Structure 1
Amino acid sequence: MEAKDVQSIADARELIEARGLNHVKVGMFDIDGVMRGKYMSKEKFLSSLENDFGFCDVVLGWDVRDQLYDNTQYTGWHTGYPDAAARIIPESCRELPLEHNNVLFLAEFVGEAEAICPRGVLRKVLQQAKSLGMQIETGFEYEFFVFNETPESIREKHYQGLRSLGPAEFGYSVIRNSAESQTYQNLLKLCSQMDIPIEGLHEETGPGVLEAAIAHDDALPSADKAALFKTFTKVAMQKEGKMATFMAKWSPEYPGQSGHIHLSVRDLSGASMFYDESKPDNISDTMRHFYAGQQKLMPELLAMIAPTINAYRRLIPGFWAPTEASAGIDNRTCAIRIIPGSEQAQRIEYRIGAADANPYIIQAAVIASGLWGVENRVEPEPLVKGSAYETRFPPHLQLPHTLWDAAQRLKTSQVARHYFGDAFVDHFSATREWEEREFRKHISDWELDRYFEII
């Protein structure tokens, strides 16, 4: 039996026994989309398949540097950081080609912790979509920079003077992807073996920046694949003595790194709900209300879409990133790109997301805002023609300029509380406030250079 054939607890048990595995890798994704996990003994794993297992809830209570949040209610010193119940997802089983004879299973929190578990929040939104007769399909596109560096060397250099995979801009370069074919082929092979099918992989504009388009799937497995792609791209690069970063913007000299989401909606029989050949650009009423909801709620939900301090460095004019809640027909200067096509191809590209967003959380925001638009029959703003950067937008389409402001908008959003629940909104907005407060403790090189001698 292959890992991709596992669909049930019985299948998982059969695979483990047949391969004679003594330990199995189990992982889940935290609030920031970072994979946390461990090796479990065969006995513990098989028991956990049937009865769930306990996983320290600190993974929902710390940041990317393992610093403990001091402002969240669900978990903290006041709770003693107990174990929370988690379940193993049998159908998530994947080969681990970079390890000898092992497989990976994803897990997710259940019980009380499910309300703030990123995967659980996305499932909650998808259940609401299903109650409206909708099936959501998505596909993620990621840009990421690759460097001929190691975790040690980047620190020794203080992140300056890094050696990128390529020396300069050369978008869609066949020369580059041929000269570096081993790296490209290794990543493509790994993704194929791990059931993360890649539709396209190419050189983007910037020294050493690549873009990968992951094949579309139902929304929940699509988010799994996106989160796994980011994790194991980093693993694959480090195995080669290289490093990949999915920071939203690592250098002021180059465009930021996007994490675009392509989205379509079908009814429960599989027919497109976005396509209506009798309407201009084949845009059905459902599609119109859906993207209108996304547009109207983008400023309100931006903390889920741009969840880091660094994400706001990317949202500036002229660098291929949107700066307002704009929408247009096949317009890449807009936050929402409406892509007309056949019944199979009609879709939305949600372009404001950066590569640093948690795939589960951003997708929950993208889908919920569309559902709100459909449920309330929201009408869109006028579509942008030409450059969105040169268009004046009304105040309600302006985006928050900082993570702190975005967190305040999310915290007071009744729509967010309706779709995601109070527990998630309170917890996530608090974690973003923490991130901003941690940033404010930092003294930048810019400040030292500007003030140290002169002021």
Structure 2
Amino acid sequence: MQPRDVRTAEDARRIVEERGLDHVRVAVFDIDGIMRGKYMAREKFLSALEAGFGFCDVVLGWDSNDQLYDNTKFTGWHTAYPDAPVRILPESCREIPFEDGMLLFLGEFAERGEEVCPRGVLRRVLERAGRLGYDVNAAAEFEFFLFEETPHSVREKNFRNLVNVTPGFFGYSMLRSSVHAEFYRELLDTARRMDFPIEGLHTETGPGVLEAAIGVDGALAAADKAALFKTYTKVLAQRRGWMATFMAKWSPEWPGQSGHLHVSLKGRDGRPGFHDPAAAHGIGDLMRWFIGGQQALMPELLSMIACTVNSYTRLIPGFWAPTQASWGVENRTCALRAIPGSAKSQRVEYRVAAADINPYVALAAAIGSGLWGIEHRIEPTPPVEGNAYEKEFPDGLALPRTLGEAADRLRTSGAARDLFGDAFVEHYAATREWEEREHRKAITDWQLQRYFEII
């Protein structure tokens, strides 16, 4: 039996027993999209297939640096960090190519934890789409920088003077990709074998920067694939003595790293929902309202997409990142790019997203806001023609400038509470407020250089 054939708990039991595995790997993704997991003994895993298992809920109560939130209700010292039930997802079964047949299974939090679980919130948004009569397809594409560094060396250097795997500019370089063909091949093969296949992989403009486009799938599976891609790209890089970063912007000298999301709808009859051959650019009512909802709610939901303090260093004019909730047809200066084409290929590209996204949370925002637009028949502004950076927009379309401001907009958003639930909005907003507060404690190099001697 092959991992891709696993669909049920019985299938999962069978493949583990066929392989004679003493342990399997199980994992969940936390609020920041970081993979957390462990090896689990076979007998415990087989039992957990039916009854679930307990996972310390601290993984929903700490930040990316394992520091405990002091402002959340879901968990904390006041609850004593109990185990939270997790259900195993048999259909998520994957073989880890470099672990001698080892299997990986994803899980998601159940019961009360489901209210704040990133995968759970996306699933609820997709259930909403189902009630409206639509299925959602999605795909992610990521830019990431590669360095000839290790986790030890970057700390020894205090993250300065890092060595990229290649120098200078050279987008779409056949030279660079041929010189490092072994890494490209390993990444492509791992992605194929772990079921997050890459449609396109190439160098971008900048030192050691690559872009990968992951194949389209149903939105929940697409989020799984995006999250796994980020994790295992970093794993493969570190296994060869390199490092990959998915920060929104790691250097002021280079553009930020995108994490664009492509979304389309289809009816339960399988027919694409966005394409109308009689409409301008083929953009029918459904697609127009979907864009209208995305545009209207983007300022309120931005913290779900621009989720780190660093995210906001990317959202500046002239660096291929939007600064307003703008949209246009085939316009890469806009936050939303309508991509016309055939009925099958027509879609919306959610370009405000960077590589640092939690794919589950970001897709929940991108899809949920579009569904809200359909439900309320929200008309977008006229599409931008030309450079969106030079256009005037209504005040209501300006994006928050900081993570703290964005978190506050989310907390007070009635639409967000309707789409994602009060528990998720309260918990997620609190985690972003914590992140902003941690940032304000830092004494940066810029502050030292500017004030240490002169002020």
Partner of 2:304: 304
Query: Cα distance, 1:406 vs. partner?
Result: 0.2
C-alpha separation between the residues in 2 aligned to 1:84 and 1:151?
31
Partner of 2:82: 82
Offset of 1:424 from its aligned partner?
0.3
Alignment-derived partner of residue 45 in structure 2: 45
State the alpha-carbon separation in 1 of the partners of residues 155 and 203 from structure 2. 26
Q: Does the alignment pair 1:370 with 2:370?
A: yes
2:5 match: 5
Counterpart CA distance in 2 for 1:99 and 1:245 is: 23
Aligned to 1:100: 100
Runs ≥4 residues deviating over 6 A? none
Matched with 2:285 is: 285
Give the Cα–Cα distance (whole angstroms) in 2 for the partners of residues 340 and 369 of structure 1.
20
| Counterpart secondary structure, 1:68 | coil
Q: Which amino acid aligns with 1:393?
A: F
Q: Cα offset for 1:448? A: 1.0
Counterpart of 2:411 in structure 1 is 411
Shift of 1:449: 1.2
Alignment-derived partner of residue 357 in structure 1: 357
- Post-superposition offset of 1:100: 2.0
SS of equivalent residue, structure 1 residue 187:
helix
Kindly indicate whether residue 425 of structure 2 is the aligned counterpart of residue 425 of structure 1: yes
Return the offset for 1:452: 1.2
TM-score w.r.t. the length of structure 2 is 1.00
Measured in 2, the distance between the counterparts of 1:325 and 1:139 equals: 21
Distance in 2 (alpha carbons) for counterparts of 1:185 and 1:196: 14
Query: Within the alignment, does 1:136 sit opposite 2:136 as a pair?
Result: yes
1:194 maps to a residue whose letter is M
Once residues 3 and 165 of structure 1 are traced to their aligned partners in structure 2, the CA distance between those partners, rounded to angstroms, is 34
Aligned length: 455
- Identity across matched positions, percent: 62
Runs of 5+ unmatched residues, structure 1: none
Secondary structure of 2:348's match? strand
In structure 2, runs of 5+ residues without a counterpart are: none
RMSD: 0.5
Superposed, 1:179-328 pairs within 5 Å as: 179-328=179-328
Residue type of the alignment partner of 1:100: D
Name the SS of the counterpart of 1:80 in structure 2.
Answer: coil
2:21 matches 1:21: yes
1:390 aligns with 2:416: no
Q: Deviations over 1:46-102 (max 9, x none)?
A: 000011111000000000000000000010000000000100000000010121220
The separation in 2 between residues aligned to 1:53 and 1:204, in whole angstroms, is 43
Cα distance in 2 between the residues matched to 1:170 and 1:380: 37
Instruction: Name 2:445's counterpart in structure 1.
Output: 445
Q: State the Cα distance separating 1:173 from its structure 2 match.
A: 0.4
Aligned to 2:300, the other structure's residue is in SS state: coil
Structure 1 residue 332, shift from structure 2 partner: 0.4
Q: Which amino acid aligns with 2:76?
A: G
The answer to whether 1:380 aligns with 2:367 is no
2-side partners of 1:236 and 1:99: how far apart? Answer: 12
* Rounded Cα–Cα distance in structure 2 between residues aligned with 1:262 and 1:304: 16
C-alpha distance in 1, partners of 2:162/2:98?
A: 26
Q: Take 1:157 and 1:74, find their aligned partners in 2: how far apart are those partners? A: 38
Q: How far off is 1:4 after superposition?
A: 1.1
Which residue identity lines up with residue 303 of structure 1 in the other structure?
S
What TM-score do you get using the length of structure 1 for normalisation? 1.00
Q: Counterparts of 1:358 and 1:350 in 2: how far apart (Å)?
A: 14
Deviation string 1:131-164 (CA, Å, 9 cap, x unpaired) is 0001100010000000011000111111111110
Q: Which residue of 2 aligns with 1:63?
A: 63
* Cα distance in 2 for residues equivalent to 1:211 and 1:148: 18
C-alpha separation between the residues in 1 aligned to 2:124 and 2:196?
Answer: 24
Structure 2 Cα separation of the partners of residues 139 and 362 of structure 1: 12
Counterpart of 1:360 in structure 2: which amino acid? Y
Give the secondary-structure state (helix, strand or coil) at the position aligned to 1:301. helix
Which amino acid counterpart does residue 175 of structure 2 have in structure 1? I
Q: Is 1:117 paired with 2:94?
A: no
Q: Distance in 2 between matches of 1:453 and 1:357?
A: 38
The aligned residue for residue 167 of structure 1 is: 167
- Structure 1 residue 392: deviation in Å? 1.3
Secondary structure at the counterpart of residue 224 of structure 1: helix
2:344 alignment counterpart? 344
What does the per-residue CA deviation read over 1:313-332, in whole Å, with 9 as the maximum and x for residues that have no partner? 00011111111100000000
Name the structure 2 match of 1:330.
Answer: 330
Q: Aligned with 1:86: secondary structure?
A: strand
In 2, the alpha carbon distance for the partners of 1:427 and 1:309 equals: 18
Structure 1 counterpart of 2:216, which letter?
Answer: H
Q: Distance in 2 between matches of 1:78 and 1:345?
A: 50
Cα-to-partner distance string for 1:391-427 (whole Å, 9 max, x where unaligned):
1111001000000000000000000000100000000
- Look up the SS of the partner of 1:328 in the other structure: strand
Shift of 1:182: 0.7
The 2-side partners of 1:249 and 1:198 are apart by: 23
Letter in 2 for 1:81: Y
Partner AA of 1:381 in structure 2: T
Cα distance in 1 for partners of 2:6, 2:280 equals 44
Residue identity opposite 1:108 in structure 2: E
Q: Secondary structure at the match of 1:259?
A: coil
- Which SS does the other structure have where 2:294 is aligned? helix
Separation in 2, partners of 1:183, 1:154: 21
Bigger mean CA offset, 137-146 vs 445-454: 445-454
